Chains A and B, each alone.
Chain A
């Protein structure tokens, strides 16, 4: 999972970049339906297909933020519809704790969002993406890790990333 956002400053032309983890059985198919139904949605999401929302390890989300993506969306099947019976239920528990912890350390919860989108909800997918993009746009670029470097590393070490 390499995320290479270009350095963009908050300017007029800035557009948020959002990484979306979509479950292979529901949300990915839902996104497909959005396209085949000719429903338009903001092109700011980069979609990454995962087998199940339960596959999304919290480290994926942390690393995505660290790499400088402006937002993260994780989407899976509605509760009860998981292809693997309970993947989304256990994912829901992890995400509930993670999103509260992220809020506590100062990552705006609007940057890391979760949704349930089924394979038949093409319209809902477009709506969710539009909402997430609008909210992240209002927050501005993710510059959390650009502003501070460490005391303990040689100067310029931070510039190796991204």
Chain B
């Protein structure tokens, strides 16, 4: 990322620390694994040297807000700002405790997708760099170019909110969708007959390890104790059987309905590659169709399950 942005960011954060406006700053640090960054919680000006603003700023930092006390400054991409709106509405964080710095996002690279596109293992990728409208990938010493759409995360291809919806300052840069918005790709599974849907999802649920990475990384899953860990009564068995995984995943969806902003973190961290975004997107589409609700864009609109209208659809009720 250009030095100009880094200088600007360090300037802003240093000023905030000096004025005592924030106690911590939440940003990205260089990861220990290739193509990964790690969240960085800076407690003073010196820690800022570890800040990393190159590519791979995919993690949604709003997840860590619940673990940090006091006034916090943080970096948000456009998509992450929607999680912030949800969390503020849920009363999980207070707007006045935050100093929000908007980060221009050029679209986040999905190394797994890149590896698939160039036909190699993810571990064989040596370098991924941006060059104008294309991506240059180095594999085994050879360079290959890819169009952006084959290298960026799927959610970035249809980025509806490239610019943060709430912020205190914006870093210089372009706040535009990385790929010009095409018509959203339709999930063709939705048109298939019910038994085929079950065949697809039974296979996905069967593979789930119940590692709970999807839940742990989700900013919308903020309960201190999760219902799937309750044992008196035990609602869901912890065994990773297909049936219990079905209950877990549907329950997770119902619990984040209205708060989930399709940030895509659950799918990104899933070690089994389960297409959780298909479920999330189905749920968010339903909320929009049924109740006209879009999560994380409006601080004043009440959550869909906490309100009702007399004319809500009830054609499915006998």
* Chain A contact residues, CB within 8 Å of chain B: 1, 58-59, 62-63, 66, 79-80, 86, 89-90, 92-109, 113-116, 128, 131-132, 144-145, 147-153, 157-158, 161
Task: Determine whether the beta carbon of B200 is less than 8 Å from that of A58.
Answer: no
Chain B interface mostly helix, strand, loop or mixed?
helix
Closest to B235 in A: A59
Q: Known interface pairs A98-B254, A104-B197. Does A80 touch B310 (Cβ–Cβ under 8 Å)?
A: yes
B199: Cβ under 8 A from any A Cβ: yes
Closest to A98 in B: B254
B269: Cβ under 8 A from any A Cβ: no
Task: Determine whether the beta carbon of A101 is less than 8 Å from that of B253.
Answer: yes
Shortest C-beta distance, B281 to chain A (Å), equals 10
B35: Cβ under 8 A from any A Cβ: no
Chain B residues near A148: list those with CB within 8 A: 202-203, 206, 242
Shortest C-beta distance, B80 to chain A (Å), equals 25
Shortest C-beta distance, A48 to chain B (Å), equals 14
Interface 1/0 per residue, B231-252 and A, CB below 8 Å: 0010111011111111100110
Shortest C-beta distance, B316 to chain A (Å), equals 6
Shortest C-beta distance, B260 to chain A (Å), equals 12
Q: How many residues of B contact A (CB 8 A)?
A: 53
B197 in complex: contacting residue of A89, A95, A106, A131, CB < 8 Å: A106
B283: Cβ under 8 A from any A Cβ: yes
B305 in complex: contacting residue of A66, A93, A109, A115, CB < 8 Å: A93
Chain B residues near A115: list those with CB within 8 A: 317-318
Chain B residues near A98: list those with CB within 8 A: 250, 254
B314: Cβ under 8 A from any A Cβ: yes
B150: Cβ under 8 A from any A Cβ: no
Give the docked Cα–Cα distance between A89 and B190 (Å): 27
Task: Determine whether the beta carbon of A106 is less than 8 Å from that of B198.
Answer: yes
Give the docked Cα–Cα distance between A80 and B254 (Å): 25
Task: Determine whether the beta carbon of B250 is less than 8 Å from that of A101.
Answer: yes
Task: Determine whether the beta carbon of A105 is less than 8 Å from that of B308.
Answer: no
Q: Known interface pairs A99-B316, A114-B316. Does A59 touch B290 (Cβ–Cβ under 8 Å)?
A: no
Give the docked Cα–Cα distance between A27 and B243 (Å): 30
Closest to B251 in A: A59
Give the docked Cα–Cα distance between A97 and B206 (Å): 23
B251 in complex: contacting residue of A62, A79, A145, CB < 8 Å: A62
Q: Known interface pairs A106-B199, A115-B317. Does A97 touch B254 (Cβ–Cβ under 8 Å)?
A: yes
Chain A residues near B316: list those with CB within 8 A: 95-96, 99, 109, 114
